[in-house]
Amino acid sequence: MKKIPFPVIQRLSYVFEIINKLEENGIGKISSSELGGYLGQTAHTIRKDIHFLGIAGTPGTKYEIADLRRLLIDHLGFGEPKRCCIVGLGRLGEALLEQLLAIPQDAFAVVAGFDSNINRLETIRTSIELFPAYRIEKTVRKLQIELALIAVLPQQAQEAADRCCDGGVRGILNFTPAVIKPKRKGVFVRAVDVSGELRILAALAYTSTANE
Amino acid sequence: MKKIPFPVIQRLSYVFEIINKLEENGIGKISSSELGGYLGQTAHTIRKDIHFLGIAGTPGTKYEIADLRRLLIDHLGFGEPKRCCIVGLGRLGEALLEQLLAIPQDAFAVVAGFDSNINRLETIRTSIELFPAYRIEKTVRKLQIELALIAVLPQQAQEAADRCCDGGVRGILNFTPAVIKPKRKGVFVRAVDVSGELRILAALAYTSTANE
DNA sequence: GCAATATTGTTATTATTTTCACATTTTGAT
DNA sequence: ATCAAAATGTGAAAATAATAACAATATTGC
């Protein structure tokens, strides 16, 4: 199987999100140009992307959403819900938990939360199981958690990530300003860097006007 | 002036963050390979990136951080602090506020917060000024706010963004799952899409093992 | 039935981005 | 002084990604 380039993975992930919503609304077919509209891309790009999954439709007809969905599940692993945990249940961690539980999606299941402050664990009311931080490794392994959201203090971010790696997660989403390096090979890290994003926005706005 | 490609802007934004931290620690020089280490990039890439800013150093010597800083300020507009506001002060908005105020940085100044719930405005204790949502446009204009963080409910995201656009912001950072389209030309939008990021992580992990 | 239209599959082209290679220059040790 | 090591500037090459072009196929309306 040929490796799928990252930008393609990015777009196809979004395509999956879109067709799921459309399917809920009872829509059964969609064209590459329609998808392009949702993504802000051309129909060419979409077709090329889909082509990485193999043949998905027949010329002259739109794509069957069910077929697309099946291909995306097979090639990108969007099958059974991925088990996630949230490490750090401060304001941010709680907000993330709320957001993820609010969206009715079968793609992700938040199955555990961790915090180093025991008192904190007792004050939070939620449907998921909560554990003290020292039990991250064992719990991650036991519950077969694949993805971890890190929302602790920046100073504790690397340690939290290390414990998740030890437990066997496959991906880490880092919400702290600290840089996290995966302890094991095969663990992917992505960062949600608020001030970094702001800086990029500022630079985009500046360079777009400075050029005139 | 030649247009700077987006990936370069992204990396240079990060470089700015790094050299600021180093400068605080009293470090005055840095090499392209050291910077590359921080960014997970090669020295070649870094040099090429810096080259978009013009000549920054002299062969044989490392880069003077002060010079780099000056160039980044001139070309990417990282000069005076950018004024920001947060729209939506639920758990997420409050967490963002906390995070931005906690990091001692002169790059961004959060100068206003908005929420449609008046009671909410009275219960939050913070150093910044708070306003009801209907005053977004006027306040943004009056305080010359350039960047807006949108943390409202998804259903209200587009409307909140529209008001910010009317007030004259230059960039919007969208924390809701909803897709926001800028009302005016010249306004940049970036999204912090948690489930999207999770999906990408899941796909990366899946494709990396499926290939073996 | 047939032409017109819309749609996908596929190849080719172009543009962009990354990587490499090397000349030039400074620093520092011997 | 001289040589080696390390660092930047810069142009070329390679890899990657986006865009375009077009052939093949189905649908629709008449």
Q: Quick one: pLDDT at residue B210?
A: 53
Partners of residue B190 on adjacent β-strands: B173
Number of H helices, E strands in chain A: 9, 8
Q: Does at least one atom of strand C sit less than 7 Å from the CB of B79?
A: no
- CATH domain A82-196 topology: Rossmann fold (3.40.50)
Distance from CA of A152 to the nearest CA of B (A): 11
Q: Kindly report, residue by residue over A18-29, the tens digit of the pLDDT.
A: 998 888 888 889
Specify which residues A188 forms β-bridges with.
A171
Instruction: Tell whether B21 is within 8 A of chain A (Cβ).
Output: no
DSSP letters, B142-196, are HTT--EEEE-S-HHHHHHHHHHHHHHT-SEEEE-SSS----SSTT-EEEE--HHH
pLDDT class for A59, splitting at 50, 70, 90? confident
DSSP-based three-state secondary structure for A127: coil
Task: For the beta carbon of residue A46, count every other beta carbon within 10 angstroms.
Answer: 24
pLDDT of residue A209 exceeding 90, the answer is: no
Specify the pLDDT at position A212. Answer: 34
Residues within 8 A of A (CB atoms), B 130-159 only: 146-147, 149
B82-118 pLDDT, tens digit each: 999 999 999 999 999 988 988 777 789 999 999 999 9
Considering only CB atoms, A203 lies closest to which of B13, B96, B195, namely B13
Q: Domain residue spans in chain A? A: 6-76, 82-196
Question: Which A residues between 62 and 81 have a beta carbon under 7 A from any strand C atom?
Answer: 62-63
DSSP letter (8 states) at residue B57:
S
Per-residue pLDDT reduced to its tens digit, A180-198: 888 888 899 999 989 889 9
Query: From the CA of B14, how many Å to the C1' of C28?
Result: 32
Per-residue pLDDT tens over the stretch A112-123: 999 999 999 999
Q: Does the C-beta of B58 come within 7 A of strand C?
A: yes
Measured in residues, chain A has a length of 212
pLDDT of residue A210: 53
Say how many Å lie between the first and final Cα of chain B, rounded. 46
The answer on pLDDT for A201 being more than 60 is: yes
pLDDT lower than 50: segments of chain B: 211-212
Task: Give the residue whose CA sits closest to C24 at C1'.
Answer: B59
Residue type, B64: E
- The residue with greater pLDDT, A109 or B3, is A109
- Beta-carbon contacts of A145 under 8 Å, excluding residues fewer than 6 positions away, are A83, A84, A85, A111, A112, A139, A164, A167, A168, A169
Q: What integer pLDDT is reported at residue A178 of this predicted model? A: 85
- What integer pLDDT is reported at residue A129 of this predicted model? 94
List the single residue in A77, A82, A196 with the smallest CB-CB distance to B17.
A196
CA of A184 to C1' of D11 (A): 39
Q: What is the dihedral of CA A64, A69, A74, A76, to 10 degrees?
A: 130
- For residue B13, the model assigns a pLDDT of 92
Cα angle value A68/A73/A77 (rounded, 5°): 150
Give the domain A6-76 fold. Answer: Arc Repressor Mutant, subunit A (1.10.10)
Scanning B89-128 for CB atoms below 8 A from A yields 90-92, 94-96, 98-100, 103, 105, 107-108
- pLDDT interval class at A211 (50, 70, 90): very low
pTM of the model: 0.88
